[in-house]
Structure 1
Amino acid sequence: MTLESNQISVVMLGASGAVGIAALKTFLQLNNIEQITLLGRNPITTVKTDCVHQFKIDVSEPSSYKNYVHGHTTAICTLGVGQPSKISKEEFIKIDKTAVFDFATECKKAGVKHFELLASVGINSKSSSFYLRTKGELVEALKELHFDRLSIFQPSMILTPSNRYGIGQAITLKVWPLLKPMLIGGLRKYRGIPVNVLGQAMAKNILQEGKAYEVLQWNEFYDISQ
């Protein structure tokens, strides 16, 4: 069963990133989404349509955006550090955990029913990996907010059309697709996912009925994006 698109209004944090842009493009192709509110450090200048409202905010200061999250049914957060290894652990926690949780908290207060988070495959609050543990701790905290529906997207390598982060990513973008035939069965979740497919899945998922708590991975991305 799907929901009527004209029942949906969306607030997005992190829409200027690769996945956020892909999700936004999909939203703009859907009919009768009532409203899309974009919150970020800078406006997306290529978006000019009546249903999209943009506000410049400080992601670390909930007071800068708390009045903008009211009146939405769904929140999507794709905020995150592109290269975690390039910043301190403290800064990573500030952006990828604290800022995201603060946004979710304000959304819950404002009556948002459905919250979607871009996370990562392998996250676990007990992981020995700082990155995976921090992301896992965030998800556990989000569960405690008790949204009507919480959707956690867990991609492995996100395959973008262009290299954004130097030679390391350039090599990964070339090699990762070659691993696809070997990643079968339980390893399918580690397959690389094209950014446009992931963005489509995040956008179209809000039009489908789902579980109160759901984890979505490679298989689900393709199922939903169709």
Structure 2
Amino acid sequence: MTLESNQVSVVMLGASGAVGTEALHTLLQLKNIKQITLLGRSPISNITASNVQQHKIDIGDASSYQNFVQNNTIAICTLGVGQPSKISKEDFIKIDKTAVLDFATECKKAGVKHFELLASVGISSTSSSFYLRTKGELVEELKALNFDRLSIFQPSMILTPNNRYGIGQAITLKVWPLLKPVLLGGLRKYRGVPVSILGQAMAKNILRDGKGHETLQWDDFYAIST
């Protein structure tokens, strides 16, 4: 799908994170974006594009950003805690579920047609895993908002060029790519994906046709990003 120039306005929450950074980098290179609105707890430095607006907000208070989501056609949310195991369940819910749902609700009220969420492979509202169940519950509530299009990105291990979380992640970043040859068929969705590919896919997906709810996984990331 090729949109007319200046047809798309995007509001982003979580653009300073690893995936959000890559998605934003790709958005800045696209020629179809009229405006990009970045919402966060602090501004992102070194952004000089004339079509970018940045607003410092309180992610726990929707009233701090409800005016900024106006006049956007698409929302991209990559908000999430880096290491869920390092914070309480209550704080995890506040950031990864409540804050995201509040953002989505304000986007729906403002007339946003397409909402994209960075989630995880294996999420389910009935999962025995607290993390996967919470994410699954969030998606069910997002579906109930009835966006014209809802895109749920479900990566397995996100492969970043740098180790951000210590020895555990260092080992994972080394080992996970080695599993690719044995993750075949229905297991392909568990393959690790480079953060650059995932970010590109989230950005470029907004220029593709789509309606209703779509779940995107490993094969989709590569198909969209190329």
Report TM bin, short chain: over 0.9
1:117 aligned partner: 117
The structural deviation recorded for 1:6 is 2.2
The structural deviation recorded for 1:4 is 3.1
The TM-score, its normalising length taken from structure 2, stands at 0.99
Amino acid across the alignment from 1:42 = S
1:190 aligned partner: 190
**Distance between the aligned counterparts of 1:47 and 1:177, measured in 2?**
32
Counting only pairs closer than 5 Å after superposition, residues 194-213 of structure 1 correspond to structure 2 as: 194-213=194-213
The answer on 1:26 being equivalent to 2:35 is no
**Residues 3 and 209, structure 1, Cα contact 8 Å, conserved in 2:** no
**Distance between the aligned counterparts of 2:144 and 2:19, measured in 1?**
26
Amino acid across the alignment from 1:159 = L
The structural deviation recorded for 1:13 is 0.1
Moved over 6 A (4+): none
2:55 aligned partner: 55
Secondary structure at 1:116 match in 2? strand
**Residues 4 and 207, structure 1, Cα contact 8 Å, conserved in 2:** no
**Residues 121 and 156, structure 2, Cα contact 8 Å, conserved in 1:** yes
The answer on 1:135 being equivalent to 2:135 is yes
**Residues 26 and 203, structure 1, Cα contact 8 Å, conserved in 2:** yes
The structural deviation recorded for 1:5 is 4.8
Specify every segment of 5 or more residues in structure 1 that has no aligned partner in the other structure, as ranges: none
Secondary structure at 1:150 match in 2? strand
CA RMSD of aligned residues (A): 0.8
The structural deviation recorded for 1:48 is 1.3
Q: Deviations over 1:86-108 (max 9, x none)?
A: 00000000000000000000000
Amino acid across the alignment from 2:82 = G
1:103 aligned partner: 103
**Distance between the aligned counterparts of 1:138 and 1:3, measured in 2?**
30
1:14 aligned partner: 14
Identity of aligned residues (%): 78
The structural deviation recorded for 1:3 is 3.0
2:43 aligned partner: 43
**Residues 3 and 32, structure 2, Cα contact 8 Å, conserved in 1:** no
How many residues are treated as equivalent by the alignment?
226
**Residues 197 and 221, structure 2, Cα contact 8 Å, conserved in 1:** yes
In terms of mean alpha carbon deviation, does 2-11 or 96-105 score higher? 2-11
1:76 aligned partner: 76
**Residues 68, 89 of structure 1: alpha-carbon distance in 2 compared, 3 angstrom cutoff:** same
**Distance between the aligned counterparts of 1:46 and 1:185, measured in 2?**
42
The TM-score, its normalising length taken from structure 1, stands at 0.99
Specify every segment of 5 or more residues in structure 2 that has no aligned partner in the other structure, as ranges: none
The answer on 1:216 being equivalent to 2:216 is yes
The answer on 1:158 being equivalent to 2:147 is no
